[in-house]
Amino acid sequence: MKLTLLYIFFIISSISLKSQYQHGTVDTVISYHWGDGQNSGQSTEYFPQNIFGVPDTSAREDFQSADPYQICSLGLGGEIIVGFKGMDIVDGPGPDFTIFENAFFNPVTSRIFVEPAQILVSEDGILWIAFPFDSLTLKGCAGVTPTHGNEDPFNPAVSGGDKFDLANVGLTKVRYIRIRDTCRLLLNNPKLPFYDPIITGFDLDAVVGLNLKKHIETTDINDVNLSLVAVCRDGFIIVQSTNVIYAELFTVVGELICKCSSDGDMQISTLQMLHGVYILRIFKGNEIIIKKIII
């Protein structure tokens, strides 16, 4: 179980009332897809609490944390989308968030044992921007730098883990982080510097936000245009309008479900859709309106 008291201590010690930014740890799982080869920490006995809170305080450069109460493996090809409830990650001074994995120095190979992941970010859950990475050095990946569990996780100068700056991808704020295992890049090429035949997939410990601000909802349909209303009722998403509109419905991971147009009220059937959260994007004239739909 993550150390709640330690988390509170770090929050209190790290937040200045005069600062325009807050610190925090990820507390929301939007979606996940487990990969192959490893399932440690995936059962409900451990997940998702094992990825919330600060990183494992026992983790060191020479000690690989493997406790399923602290670590969740994504498996080969697995991915997870996480966020901070009610908060945006914004581009502030220095790195904006840190991702902690259980990389460690292997004395047998005399190098860091890594299980990398590609990192993507999104403001709306539809458009995703990837941090570029180098397949040789793995610079730009998570899962490369060991965790210093005895240090302040909110101080990127000493915390370890892999840091990410939104300025590097030209963004000012995002709401979601997608962590996508890329270990097969190594397993499929023994000539790569970090190749190791025992790699089994990215192991997520924690995600720390270094520059957080309260999210201000500005794109809800009812706030933007009172003449346009979207509700989910009786097996349909109903969009009420007196004008020509065009709509697209996406899953929270950006998969397009359907698109349609109407010169008035619109109905989108939900009978074949799984329960969950969807993103409805509506085009009305020059306006683009986005609303979260729960089915």
Per residue in 139-170, pLDDT tens?
A: 999 999 999 999 999 999 999 999 999 999 99
User: Is residue 182 domain-shared with residue 270, that is, in the same domain?
Assistant: no
User: Do 183 and 287 share a domain, yes or no?
Assistant: no
The answer to whether residues 87 and 215 touch, using CB atoms and an 8 Å cutoff, is yes
Q: Which of 112-126, 197-211, 228-242 has the highest mean pLDDT?
A: 197-211
Q: Which of 153, 185, 214 is the last residue of a domain?
A: 214
State which residues form the domain around 158.
4-214
Q: What 3-state DSSP class applies to 186? A: helix
Look at residue 7 and give its three-state secondary structure.
helix
Query: In this structure, are 246 and 171 located in the same domain?
Result: no
CB 295 within 8 A of CB 285: no
Q: Among 214, 247, 265, which residue terminates a domain?
A: 214
Q: Quick one: average pLDDT of 97-124?
A: 95
Separation of alpha carbons 276 and 250, rounded Å: 11
3-state helix, strand and coil shares in percent for the chain, rounded to the nearest 5: 10, 40, 55
Q: Which of 69, 194, 224, 53 is nearest to 133 (CA)?
A: 194
Asked if 56 and 162 sit in the same domain, the reply is yes
223: confidence class by pLDDT, cuts 50, 70, 90: very low
Q: Is 222 helix (H, G, I), strand (E, B) or coil?
A: helix
Instruction: Specify whether 207 is located in the same domain as 237.
Output: no
**What phi and psi values does residue 133 have, to the nearest 5 degrees?**
-145, 160
Structure tokens at 249: 């419905």
* pLDDT confidence of residue 217: 62
For the chain, the distance separating the N- and C-terminal CA atoms, rounded to the nearest angstrom, is: 32
Q: What is the CATH number of the domain that holds 278?
A: 2.60.40.3080
> Taking 60 as the threshold, does the pLDDT of residue 216 lie above it?
yes
Cα dihedral 124, 125, 126, 130 in deg (nearest 10)? 100
H/E stretch holding 6 reads: helix 4-14
- Are the beta carbons of 104 and 74 closer than 8 angstroms? no
Tens of pLDDT, residues 225-250 = 435 667 777 788 888 877 778 888 88
Domain boundary among the residues 167, 188, 214 is at 214
Domain check: are 140 and 270 in the same one? no
Residue 157 sits in the same domain as residue 77: yes
- In this structure, are 130 and 243 located in the same domain? no
Distance CA 170, CA 129 (A): 9
CB 128 within 8 A of CB 178: yes
What is the Cα Rg of the chain in Å? Answer: 21
Total domains in the chain come to: 2
Which residue has better confidence, 232 or 5? 232
Examine the domain organization and report whether 195 and 235 are in the same domain. Answer: no
Question: 281 with 194, same domain?
Answer: no
> In the prediction, which pLDDT does 285 show?
72
Using alpha carbons only, give the angle 16, 22, 23 rounded to the nearest 5 degrees.
Answer: 105
- Evaluate the CA torsion angle 97, 55, 70, 25 in order and state its sign: negative
